């Protein structure tokens, strides 16, 4: 264990590796495994409070820890629901499946888009979080499809753009390159780097806000 008193001179790359080991090796929410950097998840909480979404679409759910956490945020707001999309829901924890605000769709996200859209009313405020395979092609295609659900001022969060931009893990090219190409190909989304205000983020350039 590297405690603060003995870790102040560690290079950032080593700090990220230590944090990554903790994120993938022991992070949980209410007893449910959760692959999330807690600094980013604090930002999610701020975005959810400020945006007040009627619907959160989370693509990539694994055990469901982050879905449960966001459903609890919606409980506090007293409104909203979450749609979880994943190609495999076999690992979902029972307490997640039982939460009344959550609906799960087991499918490839791009293929499931029409099914997801049918669950969302035209005037509903939507927040989308992409955390699936992290390949360039899939990330770009999810951005292209699901961006249509977001209104001006809403957010699309793309996770794990830290792949090869802080940590030597994951596909290359991956989410980071997909984000850059997506934003450069259109004029209605911008990268909001103010959401990286803790400096250490697993989503560099991954907080996108719709501007028009």
> Could you tell me what percent of the chain has a pLDDT over 90?
95
- The overall longest dimension of the chain from CA atoms, in Å, is 53
Contact indicator for 31, 57 with CB cutoff of 8 Å: no
Residues 12, 13, 16: CA angle, nearest 5 degrees = 85
Which range (4-13, 44-53, 110-119, 194-203) has the least confidence? 4-13
Nearest to 201, CA basis, from 42, 10, 70: 42
Domain ranges in the chain are: 10-210
What's residue 5's pLDDT? 87
Report the CATH fold assignment for 10-210: Rossmann fold (3.40.50)
What's residue 63's pLDDT? 97
User: How many Å apart are CA 132 and CA 1, to the nearest integer?
Assistant: 30
Question: To which residue do tokens 């949980």 refer?
Answer: 28
Residue 180 in this model has a pLDDT that exceeds 70: yes
Q: Output 4 or 85, whichever has higher pLDDT.
A: 85
What's residue 3's pLDDT? 83
What's residue 6's pLDDT? 87
Residue 95 in this model has a pLDDT that exceeds 90: yes
Q: What is the mean pLDDT of residues 132-159?
A: 98
Residue 2 in this model has a pLDDT that exceeds 80: no
Residue 41 in this model has a pLDDT that exceeds 90: yes
Nearest to 55, CA basis, from 78, 81, 85, 86: 81
Average pLDDT, the chain: 96
Alpha helices in 98-196 (DSSP H): 113-118, 136-146, 175-184
**Coil vs helix vs strand at 39:** helix
Residue 1 in this model has a pLDDT that exceeds 80: no
| pTM of the predicted structure, to 2 decimals | 0.96
């Amino acid at each position: 264990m590297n405690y603060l008193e003995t870790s102040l001179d560690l290079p950032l790359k080593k700090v990220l590796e230590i944090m990554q080991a903790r994120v993938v090796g022991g992070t949980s929410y209410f007893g449910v495994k959760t692959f999330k950097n807690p600094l980013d998840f604090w930002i999610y909480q701020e975005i959810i409070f400020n945006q007040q979404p009627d619907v959160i679409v989370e693509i990539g759910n694994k055990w469901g820890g982050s879905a449960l956490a966001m459903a609890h945020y919606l409980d506090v707001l007293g409104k909203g629901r979450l749609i979880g999309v994943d190609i495999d829901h076999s690992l979902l924890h029972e307490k997640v499946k039982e939460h009344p605000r959550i609906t799960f769709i087991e499918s490839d996200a791009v293929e499931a888009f029409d099914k997801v859209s049918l669950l969302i009313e035209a005037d509903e405020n939507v927040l989308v979080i992409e955390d699936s395979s992290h390949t360039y092609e899939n990330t770009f295609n999810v951005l292209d499809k699901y961006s249509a659900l977001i209104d001006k001022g809403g957010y699309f969060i793309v996770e794990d753009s830290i792949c090869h931009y802080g940590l030597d893990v994951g596909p290359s090219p991956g989410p980071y390159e997909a984000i850059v190409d997506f934003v450069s190909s259109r004029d209605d989304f911008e990268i909001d780097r103010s959401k990286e205000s803790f400096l250490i983020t697993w989503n560099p350039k991954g907080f996108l806000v719709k501007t028009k």
